[in-house]
Structure 1
């Protein structure tokens, strides 16, 4: 059975990704590693720290030792650590937002990024700019923080979180060609945004789709090696 280990920096990303795995890879065994101190430490420092990267390395090393076929990094705030760890971990690592960033660059030159914490907003914007350079596209990234939404979510007020976030997305839609939701926890709003004049991208669906493609490519290479 295919084993996928997902590394989370908080509990809010577990259910959205679990739902996508059930839909797209129902036969896979999905193991969740959750350490909510990772995001808390990144927010406290205002940036990704060597200590957080070291802890991520330990979790991904454990995933490798467990025999995982693939590791999914579920948090954009620590996504840049993956760029370092890919050179240290043999097991393939997918970033949950990488495919979403590529889609955004393909959909328009004016990309809006919405987040509820700056430590997620900034690395997501950098990722989109890097993908644009890789694909030789010119993009202008507009960054937007939905102030107070994350605090509402932590306090258990999901309705307030969604209301603040929805207003920020609607306001931004008039100024961009595509909107990127920088956090997995935002994905639940997408079905309520159909009336917007621009597409809204979230990472759970595209992130798990990237995992599925990577596994298929691995199987293809393995099959070719046996011929």
Structure 2
């Protein structure tokens, strides 16, 4: 029995392996990386990669996955929406984070370094707010120039730019880091606003789904 993680960058593999080792030792993770999905989603929109994502999910199910966790916020809604067609639970990594943001207050700022992430993430926060019966004011902050550093392999420069952007945010009850790659920026900011990231709560939710499959 396996939990398959669908990534659009290989940098996420050690992050989730480390979380597994601390929080869910013994959990069998299988990583699938398709960087081209994020590139295409950024140019043509997330819906453009629907067929490719469906094929990957079907492959995961055939290979024995009991659940799939999509760690890319840009295509998470696409993956989640295909769950009924592939026969295994499909979770998006950022849904638990969005629920926590809504619980924190009505003023939520979403931070991203890839513009294609804003639409799905804002929509998710608003969906969770509706589910909770709360009104939210969602604002966005784009960290200009950061993604170029990420692609160049300058992780410190990337995180420092994001942390600088976090330092400048005011008037928010919660800050949502819209991409898993932003997680460690929370350790570099001096803001007093709660900064929420997706990997740990997302993996927790997927591990719970995996456990249900094991006992079914």
Q: Which residue of 2 aligns with 1:63?
A: 60
Q: By how many angstroms is 1:15 displaced?
A: 2.0
Q: Which residue of 2 aligns with 1:208?
A: 203
Aligned pairs, number: 216
Q: Which residue of 1 aligns with 2:70?
A: 73
Q: Which residue of 2 aligns with 1:166?
A: 163
Contact kept, 8 Å, 1:16 with 1:185, in 2: the verdict is no
Q: By how many angstroms is 1:97 displaced?
A: 0.3
Q: By how many angstroms is 1:212 displaced?
A: 2.1
The reply to whether residue 120 of structure 1 matches residue 117 of structure 2 is: yes
Contact kept, 8 Å, 1:16 with 1:184, in 2: the verdict is no
Partner Cα distance (2:13, 2:87) in 1: 24
Q: 5 Å matches for 1:143-154?
A: 143-154=140-151
Contact kept, 8 Å, 2:102 with 2:129, in 1: the verdict is yes
Q: Which residue of 2 aligns with 1:182?
A: 178
RMSD, matched Cα: 1.4
Contact kept, 8 Å, 1:13 with 1:185, in 2: the verdict is yes
Q: Which residue of 1 aligns with 2:192?
A: 197
Contact kept, 8 Å, 2:3 with 2:210, in 1: the verdict is no
Give the TM-score, by structure 2 length: 0.95
**3-state secondary structure, aligned to 1:71:** strand
Partner Cα distance (1:142, 1:104) in 2: 13
Partner Cα distance (2:214, 2:30) in 1: 20
Q: Provide structure 2 residue ranges, at least 5 long, that are not aligned to the other structure.
A: none
Q: By how many angstroms is 1:219 displaced?
A: 4.8
Q: Provide structure 1 residue ranges, at least 5 long, that are not aligned to the other structure.
A: 223-227
Q: By how many angstroms is 1:218 displaced?
A: 4.1
Give the TM-score, by structure 1 length: 0.90
Partner Cα distance (1:107, 1:217) in 2: 28
Partner Cα distance (1:217, 1:133) in 2: 27
Q: By how many angstroms is 1:145 displaced?
A: 0.5
Q: By how many angstroms is 1:213 displaced?
A: 2.3
Q: By how many angstroms is 1:67 displaced?
A: 1.2
Q: Which residue of 1 aligns with 2:18?
A: 19
When Rg is computed on C-alpha atoms for both structures, the one with the higher figure is 1
The reply to whether residue 100 of structure 1 matches residue 97 of structure 2 is: yes
**3-state secondary structure, aligned to 2:171:** coil
Contact kept, 8 Å, 2:65 with 2:88, in 1: the verdict is yes
